Amino acid sequence: MTALRITNPGPAEQKLTTFVEVEVPEPGPDELRVRVAACGVCHTDLHEVEGELVLPALPIIPGHEIIGSVDKLGPGVKGPAVGTRVGIPWLASTCGRCRFCRTGRENLCEDARFTGFHADGGYAEYTLVRAGYCYPIPRRFADAEAAPLLCAGVIGLRALRLAGVAHGESRTGNDRPRLGLYGFGASAHVCLQIARHWDCEVAVFTRAEIHRRHAAELGAAWVGSADETPPWPLDSSIIFAPAGELVPKALTQLAKGGTLALAGIHMSPIPEMEYSLIYDERTVRSVANSTRRDVTDLLKLADEIPLKTTVKTYPLDQAQQALLAVKHSTAKAAAVLVMS
């Protein structure tokens, strides 16, 4: 099969990925093989390519927003049946025994493994997945449309929950909860739709004009830059952009008792700031990975709303162009690789 491997991390403008012909992998016990149809290009992939996330071993095939069909079952695996369309997200396996797994926090598992990080991912024609870690995809979504749901959508939902966003509940005494989103790419454009479904008023902070227009199209109540002030204080905010300098700016817009969630796996340093920014019981918390329950909840919600993902597709051999589109925010929302 054809696959793309990270071999030498560095700036994405360089040719840092290598296309190779490798043997189609054989599923072992407790594994199944998936023929990949589409794979979303996540900001995490960019962090891996550019060396901001240290990979456990090289080379590695990245990609963890995978849509495909079950191609072969390993020994002892009873399902899903060959031909079933499934999605494969970031969380590849957990130990099931540590204190985090035992208390419903498997996203923090001491021995968690991640797709496209510890195990080869979806920038390839075939990939392997552990049984119990792939998910049926709602029929209403085409392959490329479904791919961003597997990470961008899932992390958006988890970030909303950790930021304390709930349907119809406002911490500032307003009729509707008010939410701020910093950065407007693949995850935020899904997050906005969920928040609107939950009757939130949403302020979007972004620089790129293409993203400002997109946010307005999807129903943002206010759109501006991080240096501007929305017309009302925010109950909750989420930072999707990997920019630490946004943290104090976001805190200035947060109401008393509000929560700021940091949704990225990597962020530049957070600058020193005055204590007054977090006084009045404001909370800053990170979002780390996701659980299997997060994935099933998001896919169910996506089908119910229904969510509409905005995607730009690229053939596998244009993966570098897709990564650069993510890096420079030139894609309207999500970049997705499609297999021939």
| Predicted confidence (pLDDT) per residue in 205-225, tens digit | 999 999 999 999 999 999 999
CB atoms within 10 A of CB 306: 12
- Sorted by where each starts, the structural domains of the chain and their CATH numbers stand as 2-149+290-338 (3.90.180.10), 155-286 (3.40.50.720)
pTM confidence score: 0.94
- Show the 3-state SS of 269-337: CCCCCCHHHCCCCCEEEECCCCCHHHHHHHHHHHHHCCCCCCEEEEEHHHHHHHHHHHHCCCCCCEEEE
> Quick one: pLDDT band at residue 167, thresholds 50, 70, 90?
low
Rounded CA gap, 148 and 130, in Å?
A: 20
Residue with tokens 């979007």, as numbered in its chain: 204
User: Does residue 110 carry a pLDDT above 90?
Assistant: yes
Confidence at residue 10, expressed as pLDDT on a 0 to 100 scale: 85
Nearest partner of 336 among 328, 318, 327, judged by Cα: 318
CB atoms within 10 A of CB 150: 29
Confidence at residue 303, expressed as pLDDT on a 0 to 100 scale: 97
* Averaged confidence pLDDT in the chain: 95
Confidence at residue 173, expressed as pLDDT on a 0 to 100 scale: 63
Give, for 161, the enclosing helix (H) or strand (E).
Answer: helix 152-162
Average pLDDT estimate for 11-39: 90
Confidence at residue 85, expressed as pLDDT on a 0 to 100 scale: 98
